Homo-oligomer: A and B are copies of this chain.
């Protein structure tokens, strides 16, 4: 099991930006379990996650007295509500992204406007409010571009080939600059391909939930290329474990958070088919020219300096995921709600 204990966090109040997203939902649960007082900053009026599948997204500007969990709404891109959200906070988790890798190239200006300028505004506000600790979720899958060595260490040149990755690199550089010049303690986690429950945007974000869903309900699966593309998948519990450790650090650092092992799309397909107990209806499409062929990350720095390591193999992580999804399905059946396909 992932170690979800937060080592000596010493934070009075933690702000989680993007706390209703996939990673955010799990992080907030992890912080609350560690009895940390959490404020969640969400977008107004939009439920990012199916409310049936989370107990966070349906709280709007509410304080949950029983769990030290407070939810405030606002807009990260415009900065609306952010100053209030930062009040009394001593550690910020920045998990907001308004784009995903596959679609960010369609409008790089909007990507920069919302994510980069939004983060610069946040850093300026934090500096003036005297908030000196931040943990930022960067992208292990896009910042390196086409890797020249495998597994990819943090020192590999950063050659992103999508706007999402370029913006992540720029944010990392500004964090580094604030650490050097203004004494910010900044920890950057370059997370590989995380998977787990509450993962939405099926088909865009994460093939593991997509494959489970499509194999379970018998819908066709389309794979670009021959299924040999290799990626590094890490279970969300292991990501949360790394986030909790990063939040307790007193020095700045940048860490790959991944399994350290590459798996091809066809291997994922095999694992998922075995857990569901059914063959998928798979169609192979022509290769897309912008896909990196093989990438997986060197996690030795996180092992030694963050005292972290992944605890779940791909098989164990998929088993855990499938068990949680089946439990959700059973609960939905029992309550008589409309049955949604598993997510």
Complex CA gap A304/B159 in Å reads: 23
Inter-subunit contact A177/B155 (CB<8 Å) = no
Inter-subunit contact A117/B121 (CB<8 Å) = no
Complex CA gap A166/B174 in Å reads: 7
Q: What interface size band does chain A fall in? A: 20 to 34
Question: Least Cβ distance of A133 to chain B in Å?
Answer: 20
Q: Which of B120, B166, B176, B181 contacts A177 (CB 8 A)?
A: B166
A108 at the interface (CB under 8 A from B): yes
Question: Least Cβ distance of A6 to chain B in Å?
Answer: 29
A315 at the interface (CB under 8 A from B): no
Inter-subunit contact A181/B112 (CB<8 Å) = no
Give the one of A121, A124, A161 with max B CB within 10 A: A161
Q: Which of B121, B157, B170, B177 contacts A170 (CB 8 A)?
A: B170
Interface residues of A in 113-127 (CB under 8 A from B): 113, 116-117, 120-121, 124
Q: Which of B112, B159, B165, B176 contacts A117 (CB 8 A)?
A: B112
Q: Encode contact with B along A160-187: 1 for CB under 8 Å, 0 otherwise.
A: 1111011101100110110011000000
Copies of chain A in the complex = 2
Interface residues of A in 138-172 (CB under 8 A from B): 155, 157-163, 165-167, 169-170
Inter-subunit contact A109/B120 (CB<8 Å) = yes
Complex CA gap A121/B110 in Å reads: 11
- Across-interface contacts of A160 in B (CB, < 8 A): 173, 177
Interface residues of A in 91-119 (CB under 8 A from B): 105, 108-109, 112-113, 116-117
Inter-subunit contact B117/A174 (CB<8 Å) = no
Inter-subunit contact A173/B159 (CB<8 Å) = yes
Complex CA gap A121/B169 in Å reads: 20
Inter-subunit contact B161/A180 (CB<8 Å) = yes
Question: Least Cβ distance of A110 to chain B in Å?
Answer: 10
Complex CA gap A245/B159 in Å reads: 24
Complex CA gap A170/B171 in Å reads: 10
Inter-subunit contact A176/B157 (CB<8 Å) = no
Complex CA gap A176/B157 in Å reads: 13
Interface residues of A (CB under 8 A from B): 105, 108-109, 112-113, 116-117, 120-121, 124, 155, 157-163, 165-167, 169-170, 173-174, 176-177, 180-181, 290
Given contacts A161-B180, A165-B173, 4 further A-B contacts (CB under 8 A): A109-B121, A116-B170, A160-B173, A180-B290
